[in-house]
Chain A
Amino acid sequence: MANRLSALAGHYSPGRFGAEGQAGVHLSVVADLRLHQVAAWPDSLPAVGQLLANSIGQAAKPGPGCAISSEQGAVLRIEPLKFWLLNLDPPTIEAEQGCSLDLSHSRTCVHIDGPQAQEFLGRLLPLDLRAAAFPDNRVASSALHHVGVTLWHRGGGYDLFIPRGFAVSIWEVLHATALQFGLEIS
């Protein structure tokens, strides 16, 4: 099998950049992303949602703007009739129920954490990211420098899904904005 090459390969180097002291923002590129989009019809949404939840060993599908996860993978509810399935292949879905699409190569995922990650993202996205409004396992699609991105609050940090063709320019924005907080890239 061919080796996957990140859209950001060769465009960043690990290290410590920007303001001195403790790094406020950590960035890391998620390697070998496995991402499938599953779309349902209005009438088949409950059945497809149940199928996806069961595929990762969970009881119920995620509600609007939420994610569920387990050791097997994760299901993100990104649109009223669409889910993103992470880290596993989708179950077989009949055409009458819905369809799936492999997006593994179409998105670049950057994981963002650190003590000032929330404040950092607040400079870039028109979203209320405070804990009460955007707790763990919340998902939101929004625009970052006019590019449609999806943000998943995961395990205290954030996964930012960027369309592959915009990955380099968004990375440059992330890098420049993070310098003021002290940036560590791993």
Chain B
Amino acid sequence: MRRSRPPIIRRTLADRIGGFVRDWSVPRQIAGQSSATKAAESALSRGLRPRLDEADTVGTNICPYCAVGCAQLMYAKDGRVIHVEGDPRSPINQGTLCPKGAATLGLMTMPERLDKIKYRAPHSDRWEERSMDWAMDRIAHLTKKTRDEAFVQELPDGGTVNHTQAIGSLGGATLDNEENYLIKKLFSAGLGMVWIENQARV
């Protein structure tokens, strides 16, 4: 269900004073309306809709910060996330989130969010923008070159090691299991890298 925001109506001073008197909750409470429900309403609040009302998509997310594993509901509109909240169904967080988890929308939409590939050439003093295709090609070639220049099949004593010590990888604890699986599979079983580590020791 989609609903658009109520239009902003320009009102005269007399309208505003009249509205204020009508909305003033004290007389209404004296008249018997509850301060928690009816008397808390105003002309403005009656028109307000929750942000997630506008969403066209909702998905289940898991909080990207610590390892408690709080479930989140993530609402999007037109391909942009508009709201993230704790999933009330979760037996872990039961709808709650901590200050970090509650900032998940802020993380996804932060002004500093990187959206382009930046490249710094050796000895340069600046970033340059590059295309994905160029960067992937260059990284693949550097990986192959570095591996091939420093690949060891056997140690001097004849023992097989089939490894390279010239390339390392750091990170994984913020990533999906499927991502860690492919990292270990390609880097270790495919390329023979041994310097593979993540945040488990820090």
B is bound to A: no
- Partner-A contacts on B (CB < 8 A): none
- Partner-B contacts on A (CB < 8 A): none
